[in-house]
Amino acid sequence: MSRFLFALVALSTPAIASAAASGAAQYSTSCASCHGADGKKGNIVIAGESAAKVTKALDGHTPPMTNLKLTAEQISAVANYVAGMK
Ligand code: HEC
């Protein structure tokens, strides 16, 4: 049993780290031009917004972000990244 748990931890930790890294990469590709590297450009502060709110903003119905063509996986990664920004 403990061996099984160890394997689970060993497998899942890098997966979490890589989701965070791809969220950051996705952010700089798709969002930073308008929202700034820190998510605080202009009057809109998105840094620290809940992942649920970011996901909603990226569902394809909020101009001007209707045309970003992100997959559900990319949205989830970037939403978690934005929620963790300070
Ligand atoms: C073309 C410029 C542009 C790009 C690219 C863009 N945004 Fe936006 N975003 C805006 C503008 C402008 C608003 C404000 C819209 C409004 O208030 O009606 C906004 C609003 C938001 C909001 C809602 C903020 C609030 O308080 O209601 C979130 C969350 C958000 N953007 C996240 C993102 C994320 C994450 C990305 C990248 C995947 C992204 N945006 C890409 C311009 C952009």
The full set of domain ranges for the chain reads 2-83
Residue 45 Cβ < 6 Å to ligand 1: no
Ligand 1, atom 14: closest residue by C-alpha: 44
Q: Which residue has the higher pLDDT, 71 or 20?
A: 71
Q: Which residue has the higher pLDDT, 80 or 19?
A: 80
pLDDT in tens, 26-68: 999 999 999 999 999 999 999 999 999 999 999 888 889 988 9
The answer for residues whose C-beta is within 8 angstroms of residue 26's C-beta and 6 or more apart is: 70, 74, 77, 78, 81
Q: What is the DSSP string of the chain?
A: -HHHHHHHHHHHHHHHHHHHHHHHHHHHHHTHHHH-TTS--TT---TT--HHHHHHHTSS-STTSTT----HHHHHHHHHHHHT--
Distance from the CA of 62 to the center of ligand 1, in angstroms?
Answer: 8
Residue 35 Cβ < 6 Å to ligand 1: yes
Residue 33 Cβ < 6 Å to ligand 1: yes
Predicted pLDDT at 19 = 74
